Amino acid sequence: MGTYFIKDLESITGIKAHTIRIWEQRYHLVAPKRTATNIRYYDDEDVKLLLNIALLNNKGLKISKIAGLSKTEIQNEAMMSCKKCNEYDDLINSLILATYNLNEDAFNKVFSNFIFQEGFENTIEKLAFPFLQRLGDLWVSNAMHPALEHFATNIIKKKIHIAIEGQTEKREDSKKFILFLPPGEMHELGLLYTNFLVKKHGHEAFYMGQNTPHQHLHEVIPNFKADYLVSAFIGCKATIDPAKFVNEIHADWPGIKMLLSGFYLLNDREKFMGLVHNKDNVSILTHPQDILQFLQ
């Protein structure tokens, strides 16, 4: 069981320390324990309770109303609220706690149980991706140290690598996919998962990974004879112009199809497509499952 002080709670929950104290004193929502030297501390159950309270409060439920509920009612209300956005919010909170505690065993337990119940693909799409989005929100708000995000991301990467190694069947009509991230792009977890989907459906994949220079594609594409290039533009606007990058590839290989994703493209989709010369050979994927139409 973890031990947390008021500043820890502030970081994990996003609730200011003075607000937590007001909730304690005025509404008796949490009751801190005391160390032998009379320093207040909290445990895992307190953190989960505060995460649920923060969730309900952010959804518009007044704190005075929340204070009138029992702990069980608060949890149930939070779960009902989460079903409108993410029904696995309680498990995501458990992963966040395991991350803050650098507790790989606890992290693996939540992850493995979900894989057993829901399967690997559902685990990545319904649990891992929403969890990583939450971590990203915490990081942006300075409530999460980047080292903790790397800790969690690397655990998930290892699990995807293991799943990829288990895909050995190749179909007779298999296509060839080159997966890469352009210069400046380092967030490869989504690309790794796409690599898994490509191999699971019996196709060939050449995984080039993150931060791939243009000249490396020149070396690989002719030798591998790829049918598709798969890439993502997540946050590289300042490093490279996506439309220019795509047009340069199609200038050299006009027949190759490109499957692209990423926040930058989705936010500027019309502008991007307006600058692309070979529109018929470019598809923008909005969800991991969108690639299945090219794999099936």
Q: Are strands 228-232 and 282-284 parallel, antiparallel or unpaired?
A: unpaired
Last residue of a domain, one of 18, 53, 85: 85
Paired with 34 in beta bridges are: 40
Q: Judge whether 63 lies within some domain.
A: yes
* Structure tokens given for 245: 């990058």
Q: What pairing do the DSSP bridges indicate for beta strands 33-34 and 40-41?
A: antiparallel
Whether residues 290 and 196 share a domain: the answer is yes
Q: Under a CB-based contact definition with an 8 Å cutoff, are residues 67 and 87 in contact?
A: no
Contact by Cβ (8 Å): 77, 51: no
- Give a yes or no: residue 91 inside a domain: no
**Whether residues 192 and 217 fall in one domain:** yes
Measure the CA–CA gap between 213 and 47, rounded to whole angstroms: 44
3-state secondary structure (DSSP) of residue 260: strand
Predicted local distance difference test score (pLDDT) of residue 138 = 66
CATH number (domain holding residue 115) = 1.10.1240
pLDDT of res. 140:
47
Q: Do residues 132 and 190 touch, judged by C-beta distance below 8 A?
A: no
Same domain, 226 and 281: yes
Do 160 and 176 lie in one domain? The reply is no
- The residue written with tokens 């009509």 in the block is 173
Q: What is d(CA 252, CA 7) in angstroms, rounded to the nearest whole number?
A: 55
Do 126 and 174 lie in one domain? The reply is: no
What pLDDT tens digit does each residue of the chain (296 aa) get? 567 888 878 767 778 888 899 999 999 888 889 888 988 888 878 888 888 888 788 778 899 999 999 988 888 887 676 555 556 877 888 888 888 888 899 999 999 999 999 999 999 999 999 898 877 766 644 556 778 888 999 999 999 999 999 999 999 999 999 999 998 888 899 999 999 999 999 999 999 999 998 889 888 998 999 999 999 988 654 467 888 889 999 998 998 999 999 877 877 788 888 989 989 999 999 888 899 999 98
* pLDDT at residue 148 in the model: 85
- d(Cα 154, Cα 257) in Å, to the nearest integer? 30
Reading the block at residue 26, the tokens are 């005025």
Domain identity same for 138 and 22: no
CB atoms within 10 A of CB 34: 9
Tell me what pLDDT residue 84 has. Answer: 52
Residue 111: what residue type? F
Same domain for 212 and 126, yes or no, is no
Produce one character per residue of 165-191: b if its CB has 16 or more CB atoms within 10 Å, e if not. eebeeeeeebbebbbbbbeebebbbbb
Please tell me whether residues 59 and 153 are part of one structural domain.
Answer: no
What is the domain range of residue 180? 168-295
From 41, 59, 85, give the residue that closes a domain: 85
In-domain check, residue 92: no
Same domain for 151 and 172, yes or no, is no
The DSSP string of 222-237 is HHHT-SEEEEE-SS-T
Q: Looking at the domain assignment, is residue 93 inside a domain?
A: no
Are 120 and 227 within one domain? Answer: no
Q: Which string of DSSP letters, residue by residue, matches 184-197? A: T----HHHHHHHHH
E strands, the chain, in order = 33-34, 40-41, 176-180, 204-209, 228-232, 257-261, 282-284
> Amino acid identity of 27?
Y
Nearest Cα to Cα of residue 214 among 225, 229, 199, 192: 229
Report the C-alpha gap between 28 and 67 in whole angstroms. 8
Say which CATH number the domain at 24 has: 1.10.1660.10
Report the first-to-last Cα separation within the chain, whole angstroms.
Answer: 46
Beta strands in 118-225, from DSSP E residues, in sequence order: 176-180, 204-209
Q: Is the pTM of this model over 0.95?
A: no
Considering its fold, how many domains does the chain have in total? 3
Which residue, of 61, 85, 109, is where some domain finishes?
A: 85
Q: Distance (Å, rounded) from C-alpha 51 to C-alpha 9?
A: 9
In this structure, are 121 and 220 located in the same domain?
no
pLDDT at 142: 53
What integer pLDDT is reported at residue 143 of this predicted model?
57
150 and 76 in a common domain: no
CATH number of the domain that residue 264 is part of: 3.40.50.280
